[in-house]
Homo-oligomer: A and B are copies of this chain.
Amino acid sequence: MRVLAVGAHPDDIEFLCAGTLAKFKEKKVDIFMSYLCNGDKGHFEVPSLELARIRKKEAENSAKILGAEVKGGMFPDLDIYPDDKARGKVVDLIRVARPDLIITHSPKDYMCDHTMTSKLVVDASFIATLPNYETEHEPHTFIPPIIFMDTLAGVNFLPTEYVDITDFVDIKEKMLLCHQSQCKWLKEHDGIDYVGFMRKVASFRGLQCGVPYAEAFRSYSVWGRVKAKRLLP
């Protein structure tokens, strides 16, 4: 089995589903991590180009912990729109990853790169199967189901599925801490405790389903995506 997780920026996957990915990994599932935007605007002081370089490295370090492939940063931050250019690149991402399951942002998340990532992934994962839509890579052989991650801080999100990540929350934290550029300046500038934020959400979602730590999800429900079984670990 192959799982593709697509976030908007280099640390989103870590924040919202790394525990689940680690659990998948333990079950010998191949993990492919991606982030559409290179994160070049996620800092108040470091300039774009340098920031993109730093964050690429951070994403690679994080993926290494999981033993996951990683490919991302095809767009500058805030430069993804519903157009042909973006769609084509995401189609290729999916054609390369060839996932059995995709995990991505909720269409109701808190900022535009997240919601646009959600839309691009949804659209492209259908298109990826069509031979007459030609790109660099071969068509994927089936339309993969999609699961949406929790929104940031769980605002306006009613989960339909939970994953117990109690045994994987430390890996999740370690992966998150690879993103030092974010972790550091969020603390210094905004007083936001990066890891504490993640643990608050994970322990609340755990409380809801009766375990110490959990991640929360909703399935994407349209024809061709609905399955008569659980896809999450």
Chain A residues within CB distance 8 Å of chain B: 40-45, 47-48, 51, 77-79, 81-84, 87, 108-112, 122-123, 126-127, 130-133, 151-156, 158, 160, 162-164, 197, 200-201, 203-204, 207-211, 214, 219, 221-230
Residue pair A222, B82 in contact (C-beta under 8 Å): no
Q: Is the CB of B164 within 8 A of A228?
A: yes
Given known contacts A123-B112, A158-B156, is B223 in contact with A208 (CB within 8 Å)? Answer: yes
A224 to chain B: closest CB distance in Å? Answer: 6
Given contacts A82-B81, A132-B40, A132-B48, contact A210 B228 (CB under 8 A): yes
A156 contacts across to B, CB distance below 8 A: 158, 221-222
Chain B nearest CB from A68 CB (Å) reads 22
Q: How far is the CB of A54 from chain B (nearest CB, A)?
A: 13
The reply to whether B79 and A154 form a contact with Cβ atoms under 8 Å apart is no
Chain B neighbourhood of A160, CB < 8 A: 160, 219
Q: Is the CB of B204 within 8 A of A226?
A: no
CB-defined contacts of A109 to chain B, threshold 8 Å: 222
Contact A228 B207 (CB under 8 A): no
Q: What are 25 contact pairs spanning A and B, CB under 8 A?
A: A41-B132, A44-B130, A44-B131, A78-B127, A78-B133, A81-B83, A82-B82, A108-B222, A111-B222, A112-B127, A152-B222, A152-B224, A154-B204, A155-B208, A155-B221, A160-B160, A164-B229, A197-B207, A200-B200, A200-B203, A200-B204, A201-B207, A208-B223, A209-B226, A230-B230
